[in-house]
Chains A and B, each alone.
Chain A
Amino acid sequence: MTELSKIRNFSIIAHIDHGKSTLADRLLEECDAVDNRQKEQQILDSMDLERERGITIKATAVQLSYTADDGETYALNLIDTPGHVDFNYEVSRSLAACEGAILVVDASQGVEAQTLANTYLAIDAGLEVLPVINKIDLPSARPKEVKAEVEDIIGIPAEDSPEISAKNGINIHSVLEMIVKDVPAPEGDREAPLQALIFDSQYDSYRGVVVYTRIKAGTVRAGQDIKMMSTGAIYKVVEVGTMSPYGLIPREELGAGEVGYITASIKTIADTQVGDTITTLENPAKEVLPGYRPVQPMVYSGVYPADGAKYQDLREALEKLKLNDASMSYELESSIALGFGFRCGFLGLLHMEIIQERLEREYNLDLITTAPNVVYRVTKNDGTVLMVDNPLDYPDPMEIQLAEEPYVKISLIAPQDYVGNMMDLATSRRGEFKDMVYLDANRVELHYEMPLNEIIYDFFDALKSRTRGYGSLDYELIGYRPSRLVKLDILLNGDVVDALSFILFADNAYPRARKICEKLKDNIPRAQFEIPVQAAIGGKIIARETIKALRKDVLAKCYGGDITRKKKLLEKQKEGKKRMRTFGTVSVPSEAFMAVLKLDED
């Protein structure tokens, strides 16, 4: 075990794109943890998706061995955190395992919405926050002003903060020295009863569940009988160890203050709740560690296999994904239109997209997703209160006494030139203006309260385009407010397609209904008969388009010379049809569902 005084546990927090993952890579290199030949950009972002999108989705931890200027060798445990507003929960779990946080601030962009949000999370978790000014090699860098901003806006000293370029490896050494000097060494009694915080877990097909943990008190070693304190599950430890960039390194034991992993042939996914405390059976801890807050998905959508026969595969994939991602929820649902599938809960729209992409790529599934919605609160005439996360469960309007939708407080930051644009955007999305603060001579922070429903679709993209990429966004849930809601149904050839129904604000119903009908018209192939596409509220048609009947789809010539080619053509058409869902008499390809989701892109 490493001496407590030689351990530093820290994470890196930043606004998206401020260089968090790049700095992590440089720290690894500086500590020789990475062989240059094997170097790949952004080592900690190990998922293909993470590298492609340039964002961190999952927290990852790695141990570095660093010999400081004082001649001592330290074990530095770096816990990488996700950087998107959807993943605040993952950030909070990672922070609970640390004593310090490096706050990376872009030397030209300065403080942004998530810089603030993440800093507050770190301060709330009792962490020492150490600012680092990154990208100082850019011509537009203004490190002095940005430091002043950090001091003024956040209120933490930044005068002596290292000025670095993670990309070009400038001043990385000073960051490491700062970690050794300013991040407090962990504390904890290694003789006390075991208290180990689960901050992440990963499924490995050979080892079972690999639990990433921070030991807060006591010691854990192979052979011990352990217990998950909130689920009560009991296991015998198979192996403990630490994480290197190349994989797991077994150790004899892990003691208080250390960060590492535990394997115990854990097969049951539900037994390892992230945020739970592990203790030993022999000498159990009295208390569960604080700081765990259960995740609340904010956005729900139905996820169905494009090929109905793949339902079991989807179920297994979700089970496995859930193990790596405690913030996602899923439960069985069935739709008349789509058959068996799952109603899944996500932290936000990015999170939803990522889960879908992972299901499709890593588990080779073809999916149909229904329109995302928030959770509505409906009080019926008889006084019962329903939480509606599925449009199918929305009661008849006659039975509703009160309908409420979740509201969020949003913070928008951008240069003052874009204030007008931001205000227009927020107002058009039913935002209620609260206040406006000048962060410095040029930049402004706006606060609004608005329905969550208005930001889950494309709000962030719209903000980026109206502020030329400068705008940043953060939001938090503030509760439910009464609202005028309606359920919009879509009919194909006269039949309601339940999977296309959704709930929305009454005033938005007409324009949205028209757009949906248009999109469906463009995306549903012509059939041998005419198909009306209609949108209705409570049986009243409010929009209509018509898909003309298909009159010609024929191979005029089909002789010996091209018989093979013609055969392939028909086979291909058959395969296309297999991927369509039939509603009554109408075949709908999965692209049509996607198109309905992307209503706002044009």
Chain B
Amino acid sequence: MPFLTRNHKTPLGIYIHVPFCRSKCQYCDFYSVTDRSDKLLDGYLEAVCTHIREAGALAPGYLVDTVYFGGGTPSFFGAEGLAIILSVIRKSFDVSRNAEITFEANPDSVSDKLLKRLRGEGFNRVSLGIQCDNDEILKKIGRPHTYEQAEAAFKRIRKAGFRNVSVDLMYGLPGQTLTAWENTLRNVLQLNPEHISCYGLKVEEGTPLYEYQQYCDLADDDTQADMYLSAVQILRSFGYRQYEISNFCKKGQVSRHNLKYWTGGEFLGFGPNASSDFAGQQFTIVRDLHTYVEQILSGGQVLQEVHDVPSRERAGEYLMFRLRIASGVDPQEYEKQFLLPFAPLEKTMEKFRQQGLAQKTYDGRWHLTPEGFLVSNTIISDLLVIQERT
């Protein structure tokens, strides 16, 4: 990665999973709890800090250039806790002066006080979950705020001095029409955020929505596809560049942290259910807050899966994740990195190009078109089959 490598240190992203929410949204399958007893909050804070200190001792050759607090709802956890964790990260790791430091926030839990404190601690990016501009839909999907609150929250964030703000939006929500979605986009664009993520609703097994999806008037695949393509269009006309399947930004305002996931960067995750890709291994932490706290504080084991990733699998990941982003795959880089021929894949990419799903740049890179992004699973799995046979 070209970002800020000082003294030849390897760049590293740090992800903190903050698993606390005021309430569970109907569609969400990320790990979080709604219990916010002091005992649990203190236990979590102590465990995460201990965990970070232990890991920091093992990563002397790394320079942390991104930190991301996700969840859960970090803003709901509170400024004090986030500040403490960040300070422990700074003490335990070599953190770049220009590091991108993001926290996720919900409109109902961003007070001026919290924003001021976090800005002062060095947080420089906020990701605000707005989802939709229709209060009825927001209520239906279990969001604990209105659109008015969301707008107000955005303005407070700006006022507190954050110059890099992202908002999350969703399409394909219960009862949402194509026109309603397009209006949501236009309304949110008034706020002029640097970065917008647009996610198609996916009904995940195990979520409340899964149980009653047939009563929800959900958009079918074709409508979701239309909503997606329309978003790409609208955002482009407002000057936002699509740099990943679901992510759009103004010039130069990509999420540097998230980009690591798609470009094979290294990252360490802390907190229950957080994942890491570090020193050639991928591992995931146990998906239970109580176990996490107990184990960390008693010096026990918290890793659920540890996997040494062989080069062959990395070659698969290269296709899986690079094809999510606008810069796509580079055949030369691929051949050099994995010692595999790109020619068989090139042939298939050419087929996709003819179908309007992929494009080749003047310097030989391949990337998908918005239509291609929409069916990227089939494209990627086709390529994986071919890759396996070479």
Given A551-B221, A551-B375, A564-B284: A556 and B384 interface contact (C-beta under 8 Å):
no
Does B147 make an interface contact (CB < 8 A)?
Answer: no
Given A563-B277, A574-B384, A577-B385: A553 and B284 interface contact (C-beta under 8 Å):
no
Q: Check A570 against B377 for contact (C-beta < 8 Å).
A: yes
Q: Check B269 against A560 for contact (C-beta < 8 Å).
A: yes
Known pairs A557-B246, A570-B384 / 6 extra A-B pairs, C-beta < 8 Å = A556-B200, A557-B199, A558-B321, A558-B324, A563-B282, A564-B284
Does B34 make an interface contact (CB < 8 A)?
Answer: no
Q: Check B385 against A554 for contact (C-beta < 8 Å).
A: no
CB distance from B244 to the nearest CB of A (A): 9
Residue of B whose beta carbon sits closest to that of A576:
B381
Does B38 make an interface contact (CB < 8 A)?
Answer: no
Instruction: Fill in one digit per residue for B59-94: 1 if any A CB lies within 8 Å of its CB, else 0.
Output: 000000000001000000000000000000000000
Residue of B whose beta carbon sits closest to that of A572:
B381
Q: What are 7 A-B contacts with C-beta separation under 8 Å?
A: A551-B221, A553-B376, A556-B200, A564-B284, A569-B377, A570-B320, A570-B381
Residues of B within 8 A of A570 (CB): 320, 377, 380-381, 384
For residues 552 through 586 of chain A, which have their beta carbon under 8 Å from a beta carbon of chain B? 552-564, 566-567, 569-571, 573-574, 576-578
* Alpha-carbon gap, A555 to B320, bound state (A): 11
Q: Which of B30, B352, B375 has the most CB of A within 10 A?
A: B375
Q: Check B382 against A577 for contact (C-beta < 8 Å).
A: yes
Given A560-B261, A560-B267, A563-B277: A573 and B381 interface contact (C-beta under 8 Å):
yes
Q: Check A561 against B200 for contact (C-beta < 8 Å).
A: no
**With contacts defined as CB atoms under 8 Å apart, how many contacts are there between chain A and chain B in the complex?**
110
Q: Check B355 against A529 for contact (C-beta < 8 Å).
A: yes
Ordered nearest first, which 9 A-B pairs have the shortest CB separation?
Answer: A551-B225, A573-B381, A574-B384, A552-B221, A553-B377, A574-B381, A556-B199, A552-B225, A556-B200
Given A528-B378, A561-B15, A570-B377: A552 and B258 interface contact (C-beta under 8 Å):
no
Does B51 make an interface contact (CB < 8 A)?
Answer: no
Does B95 make an interface contact (CB < 8 A)?
Answer: no
* Alpha-carbon gap, A551 to B221, bound state (A): 7
Does A154 make an interface contact (CB < 8 A)?
Answer: no
CB distance from B28 to the nearest CB of A (A): 11
Residues of B within 8 A of A567 (CB): 316-317, 320
Given A560-B267, A577-B382: A555 and B221 interface contact (C-beta under 8 Å):
no
* Alpha-carbon gap, A574 to B13, bound state (A): 30
Does A550 make an interface contact (CB < 8 A)?
Answer: yes
* Alpha-carbon gap, A552 to B370, bound state (A): 11
Does B49 make an interface contact (CB < 8 A)?
Answer: no
Residues of A within 8 A of B258 (CB): 559
Q: When the two chains form the complex, which single residue of B17, B70, B388 contacts A574, counting CB atoms closer than 8 Å?
A: B388
CB distance from B235 to the nearest CB of A (A): 15
Residue of A whose beta carbon sits closest to that of B377:
A553
Instruction: Fill in one digit per residue for B214-229: 1 if any A CB lies within 8 Å of its CB, else 0.
Output: 0000000110110010
CB distance from B206 to the nearest CB of A (A): 12
Q: Which of A554, A563, A573 has the most CB of B within 10 A?
A: A554
Instruction: Fill in one digit per residue for B349-375: 1 if any A CB lies within 8 Å of its CB, else 0.
Output: 000100101000000000000000111
Q: When the two chains form the complex, which single residue of A529, A554, A573 contacts B373, counting CB atoms closer than 8 Å?
A: A554
Q: Check B378 against A561 for contact (C-beta < 8 Å).
A: no
CB distance from A35 to the nearest CB of B (A): 47
Residue of A whose beta carbon sits closest to that of B320:
A570
Q: Check A561 against B225 for contact (C-beta < 8 Å).
A: no
* Alpha-carbon gap, A550 to B225, bound state (A): 10
Does B245 make an interface contact (CB < 8 A)?
Answer: yes
Does B52 make an interface contact (CB < 8 A)?
Answer: no
Residue of A whose beta carbon sits closest to that of B385:
A577
Residues of B within 8 A of A569 (CB): 377
Residue of A whose beta carbon sits closest to that of B372:
A528
Residues of B within 8 A of A561 (CB): 15, 17, 30, 70, 269, 273-275
Q: Check B261 against A559 for contact (C-beta < 8 Å).
A: yes
Q: When the two chains form the complex, which single residue of B274, B320, B378 contacts A560, counting CB atoms closer than 8 Å?
A: B274
- Of the four ranges (under 10, 10 to 19, 20 to 34, 35 or more), the interface on chain B belongs to 35 or more
* Alpha-carbon gap, A551 to B273, bound state (A): 32
Instruction: Fill in one digit per residue for B266-279: 1 if any A CB lies within 8 Å of its CB, else 0.
Output: 01010001111100
Does B135 make an interface contact (CB < 8 A)?
Answer: no
Does B236 make an interface contact (CB < 8 A)?
Answer: no
* Alpha-carbon gap, A48 to B376, bound state (A): 43
* Alpha-carbon gap, A567 to B15, bound state (A): 19
Residues of A within 8 A of B380 (CB): 570, 573
Residue of B whose beta carbon sits closest to that of A558:
B324
Does B35 make an interface contact (CB < 8 A)?
Answer: no
Does B305 make an interface contact (CB < 8 A)?
Answer: yes
* Alpha-carbon gap, A570 to B375, bound state (A): 12
* Alpha-carbon gap, A151 to B170, bound state (A): 80
Using a CB–CB distance below 8 Å, which chain A residues touch chain B? 527-529, 550-564, 566-567, 569-571, 573-574, 576-578
Given A528-B357, A564-B282, A564-B305: A552 and B224 interface contact (C-beta under 8 Å):
yes
* Alpha-carbon gap, A561 to B284, bound state (A): 8
* Alpha-carbon gap, A528 to B379, bound state (A): 9
Q: Check A555 against B377 for contact (C-beta < 8 Å).
A: yes
Does B9 make an interface contact (CB < 8 A)?
Answer: no
Residues of A within 8 A of B388 (CB): 574, 578
Residues of A within 8 A of B277 (CB): 560, 563
Given A529-B355, A574-B384: A552 and B15 interface contact (C-beta under 8 Å):
no
* Alpha-carbon gap, A566 to B284, bound state (A): 13
Residue of A whose beta carbon sits closest to that of B378:
A553
Residues of A within 8 A of B13 (CB): 560
Does B202 make an interface contact (CB < 8 A)?
Answer: yes
CB distance from A397 to the nearest CB of B (A): 37
Q: Check A556 against B375 for contact (C-beta < 8 Å).
A: no
Residues of B within 8 A of A558 (CB): 245, 261-262, 321, 324
Residues of B within 8 A of A554 (CB): 200, 245, 373-377
* Alpha-carbon gap, A576 to B381, bound state (A): 9
* Alpha-carbon gap, A491 to B385, bound state (A): 25
* Alpha-carbon gap, A566 to B381, bound state (A): 12
Residues of B within 8 A of A559 (CB): 70, 258, 261
Given A561-B15, A561-B273: A574 and B385 interface contact (C-beta under 8 Å):
yes
Q: Check A560 against B275 for contact (C-beta < 8 Å).
A: yes
Instruction: Fill in one digit per residue for B10-35: 1 if any A CB lies within 8 Å of its CB, else 0.
Output: 00010101000000000000100000
Q: Check A552 against B246 for contact (C-beta < 8 Å).
A: no
For residues 238 through 281 of chain B, which have their beta carbon under 8 Å from a beta carbon of chain A? 245-246, 258, 260-262, 267, 269, 273-277
* Alpha-carbon gap, A454 to B379, bound state (A): 43
* Alpha-carbon gap, A576 to B380, bound state (A): 13
Q: When the two chains form the complex, which single residue of A551, A560, A573 contacts B377, counting CB atoms closer than 8 Å?
A: A573
* Alpha-carbon gap, A555 to B202, bound state (A): 9
Q: Check B385 against A578 for contact (C-beta < 8 Å).
A: yes
* Alpha-carbon gap, A573 to B316, bound state (A): 13
Q: Check B382 against A563 for contact (C-beta < 8 Å).
A: no
CB distance from A153 to the nearest CB of B (A): 57
* Alpha-carbon gap, A281 to B316, bound state (A): 64
CB distance from A426 to the nearest CB of B (A): 44
Q: Check B221 against A564 for contact (C-beta < 8 Å).
A: no
* Alpha-carbon gap, A562 to B382, bound state (A): 22
CB distance from A366 to the nearest CB of B (A): 16
* Alpha-carbon gap, A566 to B228, bound state (A): 20
Residues of A within 8 A of B282 (CB): 563-564
Residue of A whose beta carbon sits closest to that of B13:
A560
* Alpha-carbon gap, A570 to B316, bound state (A): 10
* Alpha-carbon gap, A566 to B320, bound state (A): 9
Residues of B within 8 A of A562 (CB): 275
Q: Check A563 against B385 for contact (C-beta < 8 Å).
A: no
* Alpha-carbon gap, A553 to B276, bound state (A): 26
* Alpha-carbon gap, A527 to B352, bound state (A): 12
Residues of A within 8 A of B276 (CB): 560
* Alpha-carbon gap, A552 to B355, bound state (A): 15
* Alpha-carbon gap, A470 to B91, bound state (A): 83
Residue of A whose beta carbon sits closest to that of B356:
A528
Residue of A whose beta carbon sits closest to that of B171:
A556
Residues of A within 8 A of B70 (CB): 559, 561
Q: Check A563 against B377 for contact (C-beta < 8 Å).
A: no
